Protein backbone atom coordinates (compact mmCIF):
# COMPACT_ATOMS: atom_id res chain seq x y z
CA UNK A 1 0.00 0.00 0.00
CA UNK A 2 1.27 3.45 -0.88
CA UNK A 3 1.42 6.16 1.73
CA UNK A 4 1.90 9.83 1.34
CA UNK A 5 5.10 11.11 2.86
CA UNK A 6 4.51 13.35 5.82
CA UNK A 7 6.73 15.65 7.73
CA UNK A 8 10.06 16.84 6.46
CA UNK A 9 11.28 20.34 5.91
CA UNK A 10 9.10 22.67 3.86
CA UNK A 11 10.87 25.16 1.62
CA UNK A 12 9.57 28.55 0.67
CA UNK A 13 9.06 29.19 -3.05
CA UNK A 14 11.88 31.75 -2.88
CA UNK A 15 14.30 29.14 -1.47
CA UNK A 16 13.30 26.62 -4.13
CA UNK A 17 13.79 29.22 -6.89
CA UNK A 18 17.21 30.21 -5.50
CA UNK A 19 18.21 26.54 -5.43
CA UNK A 20 17.21 26.15 -9.08
CA UNK A 21 19.14 29.27 -10.08
CA UNK A 22 22.44 27.86 -8.80
CA UNK A 23 24.18 25.41 -11.11
CA UNK A 24 24.55 22.13 -9.27
CA UNK A 25 27.59 19.96 -9.90
CA UNK A 26 27.41 16.19 -9.57
CA UNK A 27 28.69 14.98 -6.20
CA UNK A 28 30.04 11.72 -7.59
CA UNK A 29 31.47 11.36 -11.09
CA UNK A 30 29.69 8.70 -13.14
CA UNK A 31 31.49 5.44 -13.88
CA UNK A 32 29.69 5.26 -17.25
CA UNK A 33 28.09 7.89 -19.47
CA UNK A 34 25.42 6.92 -22.00
CA UNK A 35 24.91 9.51 -24.75
CA UNK A 36 21.26 9.34 -25.80
CA UNK A 37 21.06 12.95 -27.00
CA UNK A 38 18.79 13.24 -30.00
CA UNK A 39 17.12 9.89 -29.28
CA UNK A 40 13.43 9.66 -28.47
CA UNK A 41 12.03 7.61 -25.60
CA UNK A 42 12.14 4.70 -24.96
CA UNK A 43 15.62 4.49 -26.56
CA UNK A 44 17.44 6.17 -23.59
CA UNK A 45 15.85 3.66 -21.20
CA UNK A 46 16.71 0.74 -23.46
CA UNK A 47 20.31 1.94 -23.67
CA UNK A 48 20.43 2.25 -19.87
CA UNK A 49 18.95 -1.22 -19.33
CA UNK A 50 21.46 -2.79 -21.73
CA UNK A 51 24.51 -1.14 -20.19
CA UNK A 52 23.85 -0.68 -16.45
CA UNK A 53 25.44 -4.09 -15.73
CA UNK A 54 28.77 -2.76 -17.04
CA UNK A 55 29.09 -0.75 -13.83
CA UNK A 56 29.92 -2.24 -10.45
CA UNK A 57 27.15 -2.38 -7.84
CA UNK A 58 26.96 1.07 -6.25
CA UNK A 59 28.38 2.73 -9.36
CA UNK A 60 26.71 5.66 -11.07
CA UNK A 61 25.59 5.79 -14.70
CA UNK A 62 24.88 9.14 -16.36
CA UNK A 63 22.28 9.13 -19.13
CA UNK A 64 22.51 12.20 -21.37
CA UNK A 65 19.09 12.82 -22.90
CA UNK A 66 17.18 15.73 -24.39
CA UNK A 67 13.80 14.07 -24.90
CA UNK A 68 11.39 15.49 -22.27
CA UNK A 69 9.91 12.03 -21.72
CA UNK A 70 13.31 10.71 -20.58
CA UNK A 71 13.37 13.28 -17.77
CA UNK A 72 10.44 11.51 -16.09
CA UNK A 73 10.75 8.01 -17.57
CA UNK A 74 14.31 7.26 -16.38
CA UNK A 75 13.48 7.96 -12.68
CA UNK A 76 10.29 5.88 -13.10
CA UNK A 77 12.38 3.02 -14.56
CA UNK A 78 14.70 3.31 -11.54
CA UNK A 79 11.76 2.85 -9.16
CA UNK A 80 10.45 -0.06 -11.20
CA UNK A 81 13.83 -1.83 -11.29
CA UNK A 82 14.92 -0.91 -7.72
CA UNK A 83 17.85 1.27 -8.77
CA UNK A 84 18.43 4.73 -7.30
CA UNK A 85 17.78 7.92 -9.23
CA UNK A 86 20.59 10.06 -7.79
CA UNK A 87 19.80 13.37 -9.49
CA UNK A 88 19.13 15.09 -12.81
CA UNK A 89 21.33 17.97 -13.95
CA UNK A 90 20.57 20.40 -16.77
CA UNK A 91 23.10 20.41 -19.59
CA UNK A 92 24.27 23.77 -21.00
CA UNK A 93 23.46 22.68 -24.57
CA UNK A 94 19.97 21.53 -23.54
CA UNK A 95 18.74 18.29 -22.08
CA UNK A 96 19.75 16.56 -18.88
CA UNK A 97 22.36 14.34 -17.34
CA UNK A 98 20.27 11.84 -15.39
CA UNK A 99 22.33 9.95 -12.80
CA UNK A 100 21.38 6.42 -11.74
CA UNK A 101 23.06 4.32 -9.04
CA UNK A 102 23.13 0.58 -9.68
CA UNK A 103 21.76 -1.22 -6.60
CA UNK A 104 22.26 -4.86 -7.61
Q: Which residues are the active-site residues? A: 41
Angle subtended by helix axes 68-81 and 43-51, to nearest 10: 40
Q: How far is it, in rounded angstroms, from Cα 91 to Cα 104?
A: 28
Per DSSP (E only), the strands in the chain are 32-35, 60-65, 84-90, 96-101
Determine contact, residues 41/71, Cβ cutoff 8 Å: no
Q: How far is it, in rounded angstroms, from Cα 60 to Cα 44?
A: 16
Amino acid sequence: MWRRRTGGARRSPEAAQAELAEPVQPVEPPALTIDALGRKCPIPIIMLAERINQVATGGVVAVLADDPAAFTDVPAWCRLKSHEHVASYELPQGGWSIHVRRNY
